[in-house]
Amino acid sequence: MLQNQFIQKYWSRGMKYITAQNDYGEKETFERWNGKSYDASNLDQIITVTEDTIICRPGGTLGGEGVPLGYVKVNAITDNSVKDVLYEIDEVSTMRANAALPIDPEEMKKKGMVEGVDYKLRTPNSYHVRTKSGKFGMIAYANEITSIMIGAKRGRFTGSMSIAHPDKWERLKPLCDQVEIAFKEIAPEVYKRQIAFAEQSILPEYRHGPFTTASANRYSEKDSLEMGVHSDGRDSGMTTISIFREGAFSGGLFCWPRFGIGLDLPSHSVAVLESKELHCATKVSGSGTRYSTVLYQDISVATKSNVGKSERKIGRFAKEESGNLEEFFS
């Protein structure tokens, strides 16, 4: 009865209700898929989203309600001008290890780098480069992926707070506004928690509404083909993704391997998704391009309340303060 009431609540909002059929286990999924490529052939369910939809985990809570994995709002983005910012992005990142797939020694050789000589693996998905001193450097690199981080960040090695690409962040704020409207409409309970956290724990200059940061990604046969299986442990609450599609392509499904479910998200849609569960984007094929902008709350930029950590510079960046990486992140 309670389960039916839960479903009815979303039907009353005009939303389609879908439950994942399987749960392959958190540990088992991590051991099999973390950092790897995930093909759509592994999916039990492919949901082509054409209407506002909620996706829930298998089973339910003790209260009988479904546990949402995600919500999707179709036709949520009405201002096409925000696409211009995304079209201009051609930067690549070498800092997203699991998302960028395992290091291939043969591909590294094509770049003139030999394992054990020019670099050593830190993990299957990242490596340290030998410096001029003959020692391997401290920073770990990954494969290139067409992705750029925009907005608030706390420097991993400095402890300083800053805005990455402030000009792009300003130009993305209209998109933030449209995504926030969709977020509030399709997942009001989640939105209330996250806007409350933002107002209590994050300084206004480091957020726009509930969002602190954006990750703008581009998938095509000329760019990144896919995004490997990974989780976003620094996200507070759920994460939003807005989608733009240009031209014809197949693939580019948002997937949760643990539940064997993939979403084919339409252009101009906004999804509110559980990103702490392992997820990925499958390979795209065709002449078109898939643009996704992930807007989220980076918990590391929280500096207020009992959750946040005040801005605290590290080591030689500390001036009058002192500290080290281990102490800062403990």
Q: Which residue has the tokens 């933030």?
A: 176
Other Cβ atoms within 10 Å of 56 Cβ, number: 21
Task: Name beta bridge partners: 271.
Answer: 72, 241
Convert the pLDDT of each residue in 257-298 to its tens digit: 999 999 999 999 999 999 999 999 999 999 999 999 999 999
**Top-confidence residue, 7 or 125:** 125
Which DSSP symbol is given to 298? B
Q: How far apart are CA 248 and CA 127, in angstroms?
A: 35
Among 223, 180, 266, 241, smallest CA distance to 89 is for: 223
pLDDT computed for residue 317 by the predictor: 42
Cβ 147 vs Cβ 232: under 8 Å: no
Q: Using 50, 70 and 90 to split pLDDT, how confident is the model at 327?
A: very low
Cβ 123 vs Cβ 278: under 8 Å: no
Q: Provide the CA 186 distance to its chain's centre, in angstroms.
A: 19
pLDDT computed for residue 84 by the predictor: 81
pLDDT computed for residue 259 by the predictor: 96
pLDDT exceeds 80 at position 241: yes
Cβ 267 vs Cβ 244: under 8 Å: yes
pLDDT exceeds 90 at position 156: no
Cβ 217 vs Cβ 146: under 8 Å: yes
Q: Give the pair of three-digit tokens for residue 72.
A: 């999707």
Q: For the chain, give the mean pLDDT.
A: 88
Range list for CATH 3.60.130.30 in the chain: 2-92+145-301
Report DSSP letters for 151-205, one per residue: EEEE-TTT--EEEESHHHHHHHHHHHHHHHHHHHHH-HHHHHHHHHHHHHHS-GG
Report in angstroms the alpha-carbon separations of 247 from 146, 155, 244, 290, 307. Answer: 18, 37, 10, 9, 44
Mean of pLDDT values over 232-245: 91
Task: Name beta bridge partners: 294.
Answer: 215, 241
Q: How far apart are CA 87 and CA 168, in angstroms?
A: 12
Among 101, 153, 90, smallest CA distance to 127 is for: 101
Q: Which residue has the tokens 């599609």?
A: 245
Q: Using 50, 70 and 90 to split pLDDT, how confident is the model at 313?
A: low
Backbone angles phi, psi at 117, to 5 degrees: -110, -60
Q: How far apart are CA 103 and CA 98, in angstroms?
A: 10
Question: In sequence order, what are the residues at sequence separation of 6 or more whose Cβ sits closer than 8 angstroms to the Cβ of residue 226?
Answer: 37, 101, 219, 251, 280, 281, 282, 283, 284
CATH (residue range 2-92+145-301) = 3.60.130.30
pLDDT computed for residue 106 by the predictor: 96
pLDDT exceeds 50 at position 326: no
Using CB atoms within 10 Å of the CB of residue 27, give its burial: 0 to 12 exposed, 13 to 18 middle, 19+ buried. Answer: exposed
What stretch of H or E contains 7? helix 2-11
- Using only C-alpha atoms, the chain has a radius of gyration, in whole angstroms, of 20
Task: Name beta bridge partners: 164.
Answer: 151
β-pair type (147-154, 213-219): antiparallel
Convert the pLDDT of each residue in 53-68 to its tens digit: 999 999 765 444 578 9
Among 236, 272, 202, smallest CA distance to 52 is for: 272
Among 154, 201, 160, smallest CA distance to 304 is for: 201
Region for 95 from its dihedrals, namely left if φ exceeds 0, alpha if ψ lies in -120 to 50, beta otherwise: alpha
